[in-house]
Every structure is written in structure tokens, then in C-alpha cells.
Structure 1
Amino acid sequence: MPDHAATRVHLVDDNDGFRESTAWLLETAGFEVESYPSAGAFLESRGERPPPGTVECLVSDIRMPQMSGVQLQEELRRRGDAIPLVFVTAHGDVPLAVEAMRKGAANFLEKPFGDEVLVDAINAALARVRGASEALARLSPRERQVLDLVVASKPNKIIADILGISIKTVELHRANMMNKLGVRSLPDLMKVALGHG
């Protein structure tokens, strides 16, 4: 089992009993857990970023009043918050699961599920985040600047102007960066940059 040091799981579910028992399970498994009765309560808490070195995962019910899990996922995406997301639901819904996964969810579990199934899903999501962080750490400071501007949807010419370098140099940094990150396409690059790689 991976080291859970500096690992925080945010649990969002409107079912008090499920939320309490799942929080206990995750704490027993070694995670730091913060739980919320609604997507809105979780979003209110997202003003403060975790301390450096903290790795996070969000476990959320997909069907909740006021704001659904999919709406929460869309709002996080709109804010540029790349926290990995594991959905849980008591209502197996294949089209909903496909939509959630297409939008970047790490996993989709149908209740009831075994304790180890949830712990394994969280560990897999966290391993991807850690892997992406390690890959990003291999970039040079200039490659990281280029990556940040690529993620911000800036074209090469604008990146060159902002950084005061030639377009050819931007292209070289992009090629080196993609090689170091082991990606071949812009969508794959975005996934790694946003922690879904």
C-alpha cells in the first residue's frame, strides 16, 4: 500500500450514514479525510490550497440535490482545479458513468462496493497524480514556463513574445517537454499538466 503521508481525501455525499462510515474506513486505511454534506460545502472549502507536498483526491456521490457530482466536476474544471475525482453512486447509470469518465473522472464505483475497492480506486488516482508530479519535476524552468502557457491555450507565437524567445525555440522546448513527459499529443500533455496523466 502506498505511503499515505500528506494524503488528503475529500468525501462529498448527502447521505450522512454513508459519509460517516466511509470517512471512518478511509481514516482506518491511513488517509486524512475531510467530509462534506454537499458539493456546495466542498466548493466553499476550496479557497485554501493544501500545503505543498499534500496529494489530494475527491470522492463524490454523483447524484445529490442542488448540485450533482457531474456539475461539481464541471465547476472544478472551470476553476482549473485538477483534483482527481472518484465517483460513487447507488444508481448504476452507464451513460452518466461514461460522461463522467470522458470528462476526466479517475473512477466510477457503484454502491455497495467492498472497502478495498474504494481504497484501491483512491490509491490508483493518487498514483497517477504522483507520477505526473514526478514527470513535471524533470522539466527545466523554461520548459515549465512554456508548459504553463500551452495549458493556458497560448499559441507558439504568443508564447515566444511573452518569453522573449524565437518561435523555433518555443517549438524546441515543446518537443523536449513532450519527450520528457512521454506524451505525443496536446490532449495527453494537458492531462499530465492537470494531474490526470
Structure 2
Amino acid sequence: MNAAQILLVDDNEDFRRSTVWMLEAAGLQVEDFNRAAGLLARLQQLEDAGVPLSDKCVVTDLRMPDMNGLELMEELRTRRLSVPVVLITGHADVTLAVSAMRMGAANFLEKPFENSILVETVKSAISEPGSALRNPQAAKEKLGRLSPRERQVLTHVCAGKLNKTIADILGISVKTVELHRANMASKLGARNVQDLVRLSLGYE
């Protein structure tokens, strides 16, 4: 991982500086940009120079001025710039993050998150590209362990809805929703919302 490079895009300067420091402290090389346009120009420069992108990972906030994370991913695809993308989102952005994963994002992290989780995520995105391959049958078998009500809760969780909203929609208590979420996590071996989204999209 010595040659691994993170290309960080975030318009929040304080967050960007602290994240650069944290990633560099973990032994990763980092270039940072305050706009997606700067990142695209840099990637194109590397591509034109024949520099492989296989040891690089883009880490981008989902909501940014000028070009958001989804638009950035679409532009990367248009330019045929093959590089893993990790999205950073707020809770209300989960629905958009699901769309990004459908487009091939390696992962998404919901704020707030532990520094170590970001380091682990970007290293995995670079060193284990095959981990993002879809395995619909295996995912279907796992999802088959859920009760009909748990499947309903899962659908709303993956749509980014809060527990209270899910409770109102299904006509059950918030505590019951929390219980269903705990049961889902146990049955599926899911550690967080990202894992639930992955399974719902067919990633084993």
C-alpha cells in the first residue's frame, strides 16, 4: 500500500485538512481538491501521462457545489477513468448514496464516522476491487432469512428513512422498528446501513 494514493474532494476546508492529516498519518499519500473539476483535471493528466489509476481511490463528499458526487461519478464514467470511488454522506443522503452504488461506487460512509473506518474502506477499495462484485444469488439467499416485516423495514432503511418515519408508515412503534433493525443486522451479519444497502443491491 506504500504507493496507494487518495484523491480527496470536499469543499469544507477544515474537514479536508483534518482528513488529509489523518490519512497521511495512516501512511497514505493524499492529494486534495475543493471542487470536483480540480480532481477531474488531475485524473485526466495522470491518464494522459500513462500513469495507472489502479492504486488510487477517490474520496468525495456527495453534496458539493458545481458538481455533486453522482455527477462526478457520471463524468468519470464518460471519460472512462476507472478509479474506485468512496462517497461521504449525511444521513439524508442515503438515497443518493444508493444510486451511487448502483453506478459502481466502492462504498459510502455516513457521517459521523471513525477515522479508522475511512482508512480501512479506502485500503479495501484499492487492494480488493473484487470485493465490490455483485453476487445476486448469495445476497438473495441472505435476504431470504428475513421475515416479511423485516423486508419492509429494510426497504425503508435503504431509502434513507428515519426510524420514526418508518414506524409511521408501517403503523408500528419506533421500538418495534429498532427491534426489526437489530434482528436484520443479526440475520444478515450487517454492521451498518452500508452493508444493508449492499445486500439489497445484490452485493454479497
Mapping of residues 113-152 of structure 1, within 5 Å? 113-129=113-129
State the match for 1:87 in structure 2.
87
1:5 aligns to 2:2 (yes or no): yes
Cα deviation digits, residues 153-186 of structure 1 (max 9, x gap): xxxxxxxxxxxxxxxxxxxxxxxxxxxxxxxxxx
3-state DSSP of counterpart to 1:57:
strand
Q: CA RMSD in A?
A: 2.1
Alignment of 1:1-150 (within 5 A): 4-49=1-46, 51-52=51-52, 55-129=55-129
User: Where do 5+ consecutive residues of structure 2 fail to align?
Assistant: 133-204
**1:26 match: secondary structure:** helix
Structure 1 residue matching 2:92: 3-state secondary structure: coil
Residue 96 (structure 1) shift: 0.6
| CA deviation string 1:12-41 (max 9, x = no partner) | 000000000000000000000000001011
**Counterpart of 1:107 in structure 2: which amino acid?**
N
Change (3 A) 1:77 1:54: closer
Q: How many residues align?
A: 129
CA-to-aligned-CA distance 1:23-79 (integer Å, 9 cap, x gap): 000000000000000101111212222745860000000000110011000000111
Residue deviations 1:51-110, cap 9 Å, x none?
458600000000001100110000001111110000002343222111010100011111
- 3-state SS of 1:66 partner: coil
Tell me the distance in 1 between the aligned counterparts of 2:20 and 2:42: 17
For the residues of structure 1 that align with 2:77 and 2:20, how far apart are their CA atoms?
Answer: 25
Q: TM-score, normalised by structure 1?
A: 0.61
Give the 3-state SS of the residue equivalent to 1:18 in structure 2: helix
For normalisation by structure 2, the TM-score amounts to 0.59
Question: How many angstroms does 1:131 deviate by?
Answer: 8.6
